[in-house]
C-alpha cells in the first residue's frame, strides 16, 4: 500500500510491495555447519539498493522506502500470501454494523529506545499525523472514507485498547491498519511547534542528516548509521517484541548493511563475486545465474508474477503554474485525445519486449489489478487489451484528425509534427533497454520520440513536484490485491494520481486543471467499492478495469516473474511476489561454520 514507487524510484509502500530490498550475509567459513536459532554477535546481512532515502521520516519518504520494512510495524501485517496477521495488535473486534473496530495491543511493547509503546502512540499516529491537514501524509489517501472523504475517529479506551469509528462501512479498513505506528514521545512536540513560516517542525524532522540514534523505531531493527552514497546500517532492536517457539528473541541476525550499488549490472558483478548474497533476478541474466546456481551455493526463488509491472503514461495535466502551462498546450491536446493514447498502445510491440528484454520469463500486463487478486478481470471476462497492430494505430490517429505527410511523419490538425519526450530512470536496466524499443515502435507510426534518461531523484521530482514531463515509463509500477490500496492512484486528489496530479500540501498551486468524466468515474467507483459488499465489489472493480483500459491513463507493458537469488547460508527465506523476499526478516537464520584446525 505505500506510495507506490518501487518503480525503482518511489516505493508503493507495503503494498505488495513490491519492495524487496536485498539481504546478504558475511560470515567466516569452514567445515561444520550449525543453524543459528538465536542472535550471534557480529552476524551480518548485506543488502544492496541503487536508491537512498530522501528522509528518514516515514510519512515524508518518497525514495528508498524499502528500509521501513526493517524499522516499523503497524497494528496488523500481511504475510507472504497476503493474509492478515496480528502485529502490534494481538487481536481486534469488529462490530456488526462494520463501523467500529477495537484493537487490543500486545502488552510490554517498547520502542527501540526502551520507552513503552501504548495506545497513546496509536492515537497520536492516526490523529496527529495521518489525518492532520498540515501534514502531507501519504496515509491520508487510504483513510479518507466515502464521498465526503471523512476520516475515522480514534480514541484510547485504556493503555492497551484503541477504538476506531468509521463514518460508514469501509471494507478495506482492517488491511489499512498495517500503516506504521510512530512514537508520540519523540514526535509530538514537532507537531505542535511551528517554524518561522508557521509549518509544523514535523515536516523537517528526521532528515538524512539526523543522528541515527535519534530515530526511534518499533520494528525488528533500528537505524545504526548512514554514510550517504555508501551504506545504511541497521542493528537488531533489543526491544522488539517477537520471540520464537523456544522463547528466543527475534530477529536472529544482528546487523543489516544496505550498500549503495549504482545499478543492476554492478549488483550482478558483486553477487557473482560473493560480495552480495542476494540479488533480484533480472530476466536478462536468469540463464546465467541458473547455470551457476549449484556452484555458487545459492538458490533462485520464484514467487510468481510480479505485483509491480512496467507501464507507460502521458501527462494529462492541463494546468498552469505561475502563469505558465505545465505541458506545451499543443502536446497536451495530443495526450488528452483518447484515440492518440489507444494508437500508442497498439503501436507498442509488447511481445518483442517480452522476448528480447525478459527472455520470455513473464507475461503481457493488461490490468491495474494483480492477477493474484480475486478482483482481477481477465481478457476472457471482458478486459480490453491492445495487440500490436500499427495499421489499427494509424487508423485511430487519422480518425482523431491527425494526418501523414509525404515522409510518413505524423502531423496534427494544425500541421504540427507529433514529437514528445519519453523520460525514464537511467539506472534501471530494463527501462534503459525498453525506451529505445518504444522509440522505434512509435517511429513506425510517424511519431518522433526523444529519450530523456535521468537520475531517479529527478524522475521523482518531476512526478511529485515539477509536474512538467511529457511521457514516462516506469518499472515496478504497483498492481494491487486489495483494489483500495491503489486509491491514491485513482483518486483525483490522490498523491499518486501522477497522470493528472494536483499539487499536494505546501506545493505551488495550479490553475486551469481539468478532470475528465472517465477519470472522475473511476475515482467515484473506488469510493463505492470500498463501501460495498463482496459481490458488488466484484462488479465495481471490473468496471474500473474496463474504464482504465479504454481510456488508458496507463499503458501497461510487460510483467516479469518475481525471482531472487539468495545464498544458501541464509535460511528461512519465503520469497513472495506479494510481499518481497524479506517480509519475514525477523525469521531469517544464518549458517555458521567453525574451523576444525
Kindly state whether residues 62 and 148 are assigned to the same domain.
no
114: left (phi over 0), alpha (psi -120 to 50) or beta: left
SS3 at position 84: strand
Distance CA 48, CA 213 (A): 22
Q: Where are the beta strands (DSSP E) in 146-285?
A: 153-158, 161-165, 221-227, 231-236, 255-260, 278-280
SS3 at position 478: strand
Residue 104 belongs to domain spanning: 76-190
503: how many CB neighbours lie within 10 A of its CB? 16
Kindly state whether residues 533 and 496 are assigned to the same domain.
yes
Kindly state whether residues 105 and 49 are assigned to the same domain.
no
Distance CA 309, CA 133 (A): 32
Distance CA 552, CA 554 (A): 5
Kindly state whether residues 505 and 393 are assigned to the same domain.
yes
Kindly state whether residues 125 and 253 are assigned to the same domain.
no
Which domain-ending residue is among 145, 175, 190?
A: 190
Kindly state whether residues 367 and 514 are assigned to the same domain.
yes
Kindly state whether residues 446 and 413 are assigned to the same domain.
yes
- 199: which 3 cell numbers? 509549518
Kindly state whether residues 39 and 57 are assigned to the same domain.
yes
State residue 429's pLDDT score: 84
Mean pLDDT (whole number) for 459-470: 94
State residue 136's pLDDT score: 85
State residue 349's pLDDT score: 98
SS3 at position 176: helix
Q: What percent of the chain has pLDDT over 90?
A: 73
State residue 592's pLDDT score: 58
**Structural domain includes residue 20:** no
**Structural domain includes residue 175:** yes
**Structural domain includes residue 350:** yes
Kindly state whether residues 405 and 316 are assigned to the same domain.
yes
- Interhelix angle 534-551/338-347, rounded to 10 degrees, is 80
What CATH code is carried by the domain that includes residue 118?
Answer: 3.90.76.10
Pinpoint the alpha helices (H) of 293-337.
329-335
Mean pLDDT (whole number) for 518-528: 96
Kindly state whether residues 513 and 381 are assigned to the same domain.
yes
What CATH code is carried by the domain that includes residue 253?
Answer: 3.40.190.10
Question: Which has the minimum average pLDDT: 36-45, 142-151, 308-317?
Answer: 36-45
pTM: 0.75
Q: Please, what is the average pLDDT of the chain? A: 89
What is the total count of domains within the chain?
3
In the predicted structure, residue 100 carries a pLDDT above the cut 90: yes
Partners of 477 in beta bridges:
309
**Structural domain includes residue 26:** no
Kindly state whether residues 453 and 548 are assigned to the same domain.
yes
What CATH code is carried by the domain that includes residue 318?
Answer: 3.10.105.10
Pinpoint the alpha helices (H) of 326-482.
329-335, 338-347, 350-356, 390-399, 429-443, 456-461
State residue 572's pLDDT score: 94
**Structural domain includes residue 11:** no
State residue 582's pLDDT score: 86
Distance CA 178, CA 176 (A): 5
Kindly state whether residues 124 and 232 are assigned to the same domain.
no
SS3 at position 546: helix
Amino acid at each position: 500500500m505505500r506510495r507506490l514507487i518501487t518503480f525503482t524510484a518511489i516505493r508503493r509502500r507495503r503494498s505488495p510491495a513490491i519492495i524487496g530490498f536485498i539481504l546478504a550475509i558475511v560470515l567466516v567459513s569452514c567445515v561444520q555447519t550449525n543453524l543459528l536459532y538465536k542472535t550471534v554477535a557480529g552476524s551480518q546481512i548485506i543488502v544492496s539498493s541503487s536508491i537512498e532515502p530522501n528522509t528518514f521520516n516515514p510519512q515524508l519518504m518518497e525514495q528508498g522506502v524499502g528500509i521501513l520494512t526493517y524499522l516499523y510495524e503497524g497494528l496488523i501485517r500481511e504475510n507472504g500470501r497476503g493474509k492478515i496477521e496480528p502485529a502490534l495488535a494481538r487481536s481486534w473486534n469488529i462490530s456488526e454494523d462494520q463501523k467500529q473496530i477495537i484493537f487490543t495491543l500486545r502488552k510490554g511493547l517498547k520502542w527501540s529506545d526502551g520507552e513503552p509503546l501504548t495506545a497513546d502512540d496509536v492515537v497520536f499516529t492516526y490523529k496527529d499525523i495521518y489525518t492532520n491537514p498540515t501534514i502531507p501524509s501519504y496515509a491520508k489517501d487510504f483513510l479518507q472514507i466515502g464521498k465526503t472523504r471523512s476520516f475515522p475517529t480514534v480514541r484510547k479506551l485504556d493503555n492497551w485498547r484503541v477504538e476506531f469509528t468509521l463514518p460508514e462501512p469501509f471494507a478495506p479498513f482492517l488491511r489499512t491498519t498495517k500503516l506504521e505506528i510512530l512514537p508520540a514521545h519523540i514526535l509530538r512536540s514537532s507537531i505542535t511547534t511551528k517554524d518561522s513560516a508557521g509549518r509544523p517542525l514535523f515536516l523537517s524532522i528526521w532528515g538524512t542528516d539526523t543522528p541515527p540514534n535519534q530515530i526511534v523505531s518499533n520494528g525488528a531493527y533500528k537505524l545504526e548509521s548512514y554514510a550517504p552514497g555508501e551504506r545504511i546500517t541497521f542493528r537488531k532492536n533489543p526491544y522488539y517484541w517477537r520471540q520464537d517457539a523456544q522463547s528466543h528473541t527475534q530477529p536472529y541476525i544482528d546487523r543489516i548493511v544496505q550498500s549503495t550499488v549504482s545499478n543492476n549490472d554492478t549488483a550482478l558483478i558483486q553477487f557473482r563475486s560473493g560480495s552480495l548474497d542476494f540479488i533480484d533476478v533480472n530476466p536478462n541474466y536468469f540463464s546465467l545465474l541458473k547455470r551457476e546456481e549449484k556452484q555458487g551455493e545459492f538458490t533462485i526463488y520464484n514467487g510468481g508474477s510480479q505485483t509491480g509491472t512496467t507501464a507507460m503514461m502521458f501527462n494529462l495535466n492541463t494546468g498552469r503554474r505561475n502563469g505558465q502551462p505545465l505541458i506545451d498546450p499543443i502536446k497536451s491536446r495530443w495526450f488528452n485525445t483518447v484515440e492518440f493514447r489507444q494508437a500508442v498502445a497498439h503501436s507498442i510491440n509488447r511481445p518483442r519486449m517480452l522476448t528480447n528484454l525478459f527472455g520470455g520469463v513473464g507475461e503481457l500486463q493488461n490490468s491495474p489489478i494483480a492477477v493474484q487478486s480475486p478482483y482481477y478481470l481477465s481478457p476472457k471476462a471482458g478486459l480490453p487489451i491492445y495487440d500490436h497492430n500499427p495499421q489499427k494505430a494509424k487508423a485511430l490517429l487519422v480518425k482523431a484528425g491527425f494526418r501523414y505527410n509525404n515522409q510518413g511523419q505524423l502531423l496534427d490538425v494544425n500541421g504540427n509534427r507529433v514529437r514528445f519526450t519519453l523520460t525514464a530512470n537511467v539506472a534501471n536496466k530494463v527501462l534503459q533497454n525498453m525506451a529505445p524499443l518504444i522509440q522505434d515502435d512509435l517511429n513506425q507510426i510517424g511519431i518522433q520520440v526523444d529519450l530523456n534518461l535521468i537520475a531517479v531523484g529527478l524522475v521523482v521530482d518531476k512526478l511529485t513536484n515539477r509536474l512538467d514531463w511529457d511521457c514516462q515509463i516506469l518499472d515496478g509500477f504497483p498492481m494491487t490485491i486489495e483494489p483500495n490500496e491503489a486509491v491514491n492512484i485513482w483518486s483525483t486528489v490522490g498523491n499518486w494520481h501522477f497522470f493528472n496530479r494536483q499539487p499536494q500540501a505546501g506545493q505551488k498551486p495550479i490553475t486551469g486543471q481539468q478532470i475528465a468524466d472517465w477519470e472522475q468515474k473511476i475515482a467515484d467507483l473506488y469510493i463505492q467499492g470500498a463501501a460495498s459488499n463482496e459481490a458488488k465489489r466484484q462488479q465495481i472493480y471490473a468496471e474500473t478495469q474496463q474504464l482504465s483500459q479504454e481510456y488508458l491513463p496507463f499503458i501497461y507493458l510487460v510483467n516479469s516473474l518475481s525471482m531472487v537469488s539468495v545464498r544458501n547460508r541464509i535460511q528461512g527465506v519465503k520469497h513472495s511476489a506479494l510481499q518481497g523476499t524479506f517480509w519475514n526478516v525477523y525469521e531469517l537464520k544464518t549458517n555458521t561454520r567453525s574451523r576444525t584446525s
